[in-house]
A and B are shown apart, each in its own frame.
Chain A
Amino acid sequence: MRARLVNLNKEKINYLLVGAWNTAFSYLAFAALYFLLRTVLHYEVLLVVSSILSITNAYIAYKLFVFKTKGHYLREYSRFYVVYGGSLLMNLVLLPVFVVIFGLSPLAAQAGLSVFTVVFSYYGHRNFSFKPAAALAILLLLVSAALGEAIDLSGPAYDWRAAGPQTRVSVEDDIVRVTSAGGWAGVYNQRLAGALLDENNLLSFEMKTSSGGVGAVMWANYLDQRFLPQRGYQFYLGSPGRWHRYYVDLSAYEKDLTRLDNFLINPLTGPGEAEIREIRITRATTAGKLLAGWQEFLGPRGREIAGYTINTMPSPRLFGREIFVYLYWLVGLAAAGLLARELWPVWRQPVKKGKAKGWSVYGPAFERAVKQIVVLVCGLWIALELSSLYTDWRNLRGDLPLFGRSLEEKRALVNAGDFYPFMTFCLEKLPAGAAYDYRVGGMYNDIKTVYYLYPHEAAAGAAFLVVYDQDVSPEVQARYAPFAVFRPNAYIMKRVGS
């Protein structure tokens, strides 16, 4: 009997572990196919293909590690399609809902649906039915974000303007078109929106950009009309060339929404073009808040190192708060509950004559509770690691273009613009052993110049002057003559008379 119980527990543990593996494999298979074939096949087709792979994987894993049956391969395999068919159908229906209506990328939408499928599968298997009322409620919840009164900021009436000197903005057919040659590409509404925001707290807009990266929304109020990162929100831009919908739950970041007057949307992280339409402020429903929260959690905060000198990693946020706040509340409440559950029965036990209840009585119960609390914390840690794995995958994807390239190509790719090709040009042109002075623009390019041009060494007033996108004073120019030109504003000069 005991052996049977042990085996049953082992089976349950294996079931859970294999289930977790199946969920991960299912999503990774879809992600891999999407990454490789998204330009060739529609994501729904990729979902069907990845589902076949996932069901096959699940069948093999359950057969080998959980149920350990022998034979009947075809019969069991076909039954797997019956069991998982329901969740596949639901996935096929809901995925385009999230992608088309709410503008999420297929990967982000499928990640959320993977979690939803696990929950659905559990209840589906337990109850053998899917309650129509619940389905209707979910559907209503999903579509309700699209309903309700909206304030449309897209039109020319709000007088959208460019925030940076190298950015141009125009509004045609209620689409804000942005063209930037670099620098700050943000656009903001000149006409105030303040008093309209009394009860409307969800900002949403559709945007199509010519490049990926990180976008930002900032807002200003009547007390301080500057756009500052502290009053802002960053998000990952969707794949270039396609429309994506973005959500910002303003009430998560601002207590008094009537004070918000202007919004700035920064659609680009470098030169490029962007189109923004359907800029709306609506009353946030539960679905809207969830969508905004989902984008917020999967956003760059907590996934991109803050600062250029790899100093710190802010936490991902949910509804404006660090994710850890929710986790600490969860652990705190759970710890209180677990301690109460274990200690209360001991407290209620009658006291033996002449013996006070001490550690010998409370100790085992206390230790049991502590063990459960530690297991909970470790479980939440693993959940956070799943979030970190998403970050790792993003980093990996960002680094993949470097794979297989030569060292020179990699150096060119990790530096902005044509800075590294200019460095290569300088190495070719500078005579062996020559020292150089430099006037170099761009963030940290002065430090990189010293690094890349070594073994040439930098020295003030040297025989050669390296200039890159930086003004040179007339006094210095008078001492040098042109030596080699890479392009306008990127050249080498040689000291007159040397």
Chain B
Amino acid sequence: MLYLELLLVLLVPLLAGTIFLSLFSLEKELFPAEKLALSFLTGTVLIVLLMFFMSLLHLPLGRLSLLIALLILGAAAAAYLVRRRSFLFGAADLNWPRGFSLAELILLALLGLKIVYLFFVTLVKPVVDIDAISMYSAGAKGIFYARTFLTPFVLGTVHDKPLFPYLSQAGVAIGLGTFNDCLIKVLTPVMFLCLLVCFYSALRRLGSRAAALFFTFLLSTLPFLVFHAATAYSDFPQTVYYALGTVYLYLFLKEKRTAFLTVGGIMLGASIWIKRGSLALVVLDLAVLLAWLLAEKMFGEGKWKALLPAFWGFLVVALPAIVYSQAGFLLAGVAGLTQGAPAEAAGEGSRSAVIVATVLRKLFLYADWQLLWLLFVLVLVFCFRRAFAGALLYLLAMIWLGFAAILVQFAFGASFQYLLDGTLFDRLVMNLVPVVLFYCAAVLAPYWAAAARTAKD
């Protein structure tokens, strides 16, 4: 019975996301499974937003009150969609792919096996990870019992962190009507599934189905990513939203379809709700977008105005987070970046050497990422004619800027100790990992580009 309720709880963000995405006329641009995945991801952050505003308005966060709020908002949006006669899903979405080869079936089976394994290990045991017990799940428990996040206990666990991890877990508990610390972790394996689906869909636009499945399979084999997808931490959700936001941003730069900009903007905006560091990564991505706009001469000819509607999704999702929690961080964050710098200045030369050695060792000699970084180096070295061409250059820029942000944080801030004790670097790099694998697949695409497909095919 509880598992049936869990399925119903998962349907709610799916429906909410579907209605929201229907407002942006994306139906012709996305594949059916991709629509489902993006709907769930969008719906999850919308429910977090709703819980946020309800708490601010001192409305209790209960099953009934949330449902009523969702029904009211959903009905209003649905009425508009009915008038406009557009919806995210259509009859064409019932046509699912057929005619899989043996290799594709094996890859699908392996992916399915990994997903089943992930769901099992996630749901079979309670929260055991310390950061989750001390912060995220503790805060979620506080929200569940108090029906708001505005209590001293919850705010004490939240500190100045964004609210997504707390509200999302609390949302599951509220939906179930009980605080079950096995089942509140259900969101991360579902997000893992969504990540695989969207990753595959993005790659499918660049090449054959078999190759897209293969690289999606490679993504599912990253041990550190899979492990975090089974925890109640915030790192994996941040990775999902940020990576997908960057990938869709790349698709926009390549294809120049505003649908991708819309989706990318929503994903990047959602990532700001998850961890403080996301804001820096999102700003860097937007800086690359700005560079592209300048290179394409969008400003001079006024073409940029046509892109404004695509930013509505980003603003709706991101603005509340920026206003509520990030404004204070912006002031504190700059100080945090350089905290301790004068005292460390004397040892700066040795700190750089330590950082470089530690980073190289962690990337290439640890089991977190299999052979991803070797593949990345090979692609940069041997595929130099394609690796820096067109939209790939911008994607590479986003990767390198993301890396630079991590290195700056260790080089100049108080986080250096966390590099030495190994508690932070891998989790920060995880944000970039799906993007790096996507980049490698995109550079290698000409080897298998014969049967690329769009959603309109």
Q: Which residues of B contact A382 (CB under 8 A)?
A: 221
Complex CA gap A377/B231 in Å reads: 30
Report whether B125 and A410 are in contact in the complex, using a CB–CB cutoff of 8 Å: yes
Answer yes or no: A424 CB below 8 A from chain B CBs.
no
From B56-64, B269-277, B349-357, B360-368, the one touching the partner chain is B360-368
Answer yes or no: B138 CB below 8 A from chain A CBs.
yes
Report whether B121 and A388 are in contact in the complex, using a CB–CB cutoff of 8 Å: no
Complex CA gap A384/B375 in Å reads: 14
Answer yes or no: B309 CB below 8 A from chain A CBs.
no
CB under 8 Å from chain A, chain B span 96-154: 102-103, 106, 117, 120-121, 124-126, 128-131, 133-134, 137-138, 141-142, 145-146, 153
Query: How many Å from the CB of B413 to the closest CB on chain A?
Result: 18
Give the one of A302, A310, A311, A359 with max B CB within 10 A.
A310
Residue of B nearest to A375 (CB): B447
The 6 residue pairs across chains A and B that have the minimum distance between CB atoms: A385-B221, A313-B367, A315-B367, A370-B382, A447-B134, A302-B367
Answer yes or no: B29 CB below 8 A from chain A CBs.
no
Answer yes or no: B422 CB below 8 A from chain A CBs.
yes
Complex CA gap A395/B125 in Å reads: 12
Residue of A nearest to B125 (CB): A402
Q: Mark B377-390, 1 if CB is under 8 A from A, else 0.
A: 01000110100000
A307-B423, A373-B378 known; A17-B370 Cβ under 8 A: no
Report whether B103 and A17 are in contact in the complex, using a CB–CB cutoff of 8 Å: yes
Report whether B378 and A377 are in contact in the complex, using a CB–CB cutoff of 8 Å: yes
21 A-B pairs within 8 Å (CB atoms) are namely A13-B103, A305-B227, A306-B422, A309-B423, A310-B231, A312-B425, A313-B223, A313-B227, A314-B367, A316-B367, A324-B371, A325-B365, A359-B385, A370-B378, A378-B218, A395-B121, A399-B120, A399-B121, A410-B124, A444-B133, A454-B138
> Which of A327, A388, A454 has a CB less than 8 Å from the CB of B142?
A454
CB under 8 Å from chain B, chain A span 301-346: 302, 305-316, 322, 324-325, 327-328, 331, 335
Complex CA gap A388/B182 in Å reads: 24
Q: Which residues of A contact B182 (CB under 8 A)?
A: 407, 410
Answer yes or no: B93 CB below 8 A from chain A CBs.
no
Answer yes or no: A73 CB below 8 A from chain B CBs.
no
Q: Mark A244-287, 1 if CB is under 8 A from B, else 0.
A: 00000000000000000000000000000000000000000000
CB under 8 Å from chain B, chain A span 24-62: none
Q: Which residues of A contact B218 (CB under 8 A)?
A: 378, 381
Answer yes or no: B233 CB below 8 A from chain A CBs.
yes
Report whether A310 and B371 are in contact in the complex, using a CB–CB cutoff of 8 Å: no
Known pairs A370-B378, A454-B138; list 12 more (Cβ under 8 Å): A305-B227, A311-B426, A311-B427, A312-B224, A313-B227, A314-B366, A325-B365, A377-B378, A381-B371, A388-B367, A407-B182, A448-B133
> Which of B102, B117, B228 has a CB less than 8 Å from the CB of A392?
B117
Query: How many Å from the CB of A251 to the closest CB on chain B?
Result: 21
A311-B423, A312-B366, A324-B365 known; A17-B106 Cβ under 8 A: yes
A325-B365, A381-B218 known; A414-B153 Cβ under 8 A: no
Q: Mark B221-245, 1 if CB is under 8 A from A, else 0.
A: 1011011100101000000000000
CB under 8 Å from chain B, chain A span 378-406: 378, 380-382, 384-385, 388, 391-392, 395-396, 399, 402-403
Report whether A388 and B227 are in contact in the complex, using a CB–CB cutoff of 8 Å: no
Complex CA gap A14/B105 in Å reads: 12
Query: How many Å from the CB of B134 to the closest CB on chain A?
Result: 5
Answer yes or no: B374 CB below 8 A from chain A CBs.
yes
Q: Which residues of A contact B423 (CB under 8 A)?
A: 307, 309, 311
Q: Mark B160-181, 1 if CB is under 8 A from A, else 0.
A: 0000000000000000000011
A309-B129, A310-B129, A388-B221 known; A396-B102 Cβ under 8 A: no
Complex CA gap A407/B181 in Å reads: 8
Complex CA gap A254/B409 in Å reads: 36
Residue of A nearest to B447 (CB): A371
Q: Which residues of A contact B102 (CB under 8 A)?
A: 14, 17, 65
A377-B378, A399-B120 known; A411-B103 Cβ under 8 A: no
A322-B365, A327-B371, A455-B145 known; A308-B130 Cβ under 8 A: yes
Answer yes or no: A469 CB below 8 A from chain B CBs.
no
Answer yes or no: B70 CB below 8 A from chain A CBs.
no
Q: Which residues of B contact A377 (CB under 8 A)?
A: 371, 374-375, 378
Answer yes or no: A163 CB below 8 A from chain B CBs.
no
Q: Which residues of A contact B315 (CB under 8 A)?
A: none
Report whether A373 and B125 are in contact in the complex, using a CB–CB cutoff of 8 Å: no
Q: Mark B193-223, 1 if CB is under 8 A from A, else 0.
A: 0000000000000000000001000100101
Query: How many Å from the CB of A351 to the closest CB on chain B?
Result: 23
Complex CA gap A65/B120 in Å reads: 31
Answer yes or no: A450 CB below 8 A from chain B CBs.
yes
Answer yes or no: A457 CB below 8 A from chain B CBs.
yes
A396-B117, A454-B153 known; A444-B368 Cβ under 8 A: no
Complex CA gap A450/B365 in Å reads: 38
Answer yes or no: A486 CB below 8 A from chain B CBs.
no
Query: How many Å from the CB of B180 to the closest CB on chain A?
Result: 6
Complex CA gap A306/B375 in Å reads: 25
Answer yes or no: A80 CB below 8 A from chain B CBs.
no
Q: Which residues of A contact B223 (CB under 8 A)?
A: 313, 388, 391
Answer yes or no: A347 CB below 8 A from chain B CBs.
no
Residue of B nearest to A316 (CB): B367
Answer yes or no: B424 CB below 8 A from chain A CBs.
yes
Report whether B422 and A311 are in contact in the complex, using a CB–CB cutoff of 8 Å: yes
Query: How many Å from the CB of A102 to the closest CB on chain B?
Result: 26
Residue of A nearest to B218 (CB): A381
A17-B102, A17-B103 known; A410-B367 Cβ under 8 A: no
Answer yes or no: B33 CB below 8 A from chain A CBs.
no
Give the one of A322, A388, A451 with max B CB within 10 A.
A451
Q: Which residues of A contact B337 (CB under 8 A)?
A: none
Report whether A399 and B124 are in contact in the complex, using a CB–CB cutoff of 8 Å: yes
Q: Which residues of A contact B131 (CB under 8 A)?
A: 309
Report whether B120 and A396 are in contact in the complex, using a CB–CB cutoff of 8 Å: yes
Q: Which residues of B contact A395 (CB under 8 A)?
A: 121
Complex CA gap A316/B227 in Å reads: 16
Q: Mark A441-482, 1 if CB is under 8 A from B, else 0.
A: 000100110110011010000000000000000000000000
Report whether B382 and A312 are in contact in the complex, using a CB–CB cutoff of 8 Å: no
Residue of B nearest to A308 (CB): B130
A385-B221, A395-B121, A396-B117 known; A313-B126 Cβ under 8 A: no
Q: Which residues of A contact B224 (CB under 8 A)?
A: 312-313
Residue of A nearest to B117 (CB): A392
Residue of A nearest to B365 (CB): A322
> Which of B120, B233, B364, B426 has a CB less than 8 Å from the CB of A312?
B426
Answer yes or no: B444 CB below 8 A from chain A CBs.
yes
Query: How many Å from the CB of A195 to the closest CB on chain B?
Result: 34
Q: Which residues of B contact A411 (CB under 8 A)?
A: 126, 181
Complex CA gap A324/B367 in Å reads: 8
Answer yes or no: A374 CB below 8 A from chain B CBs.
yes
Residue of B nearest to A446 (CB): B134
Q: Which residues of B contact A450 (CB under 8 A)?
A: 134, 138
CB under 8 Å from chain A, chain B span 380-419: 382-383, 385
> Which of A402, A410, A447 has a CB less than 8 Å from the CB of B133?
A447
Complex CA gap A198/B126 in Å reads: 51
Q: Which residues of A contact B370 (CB under 8 A)?
A: 381, 384-385, 388
Q: Which residues of B contact A403 (CB under 8 A)?
A: 124
Q: Which residues of A contact B231 (CB under 8 A)?
A: 310
Complex CA gap A396/B226 in Å reads: 13
Complex CA gap A177/B120 in Å reads: 39
Complex CA gap A454/B138 in Å reads: 8
Q: Which residues of B contact A327 (CB under 8 A)?
A: 371, 374
Complex CA gap A322/B226 in Å reads: 21
Residue of B nearest to A403 (CB): B124
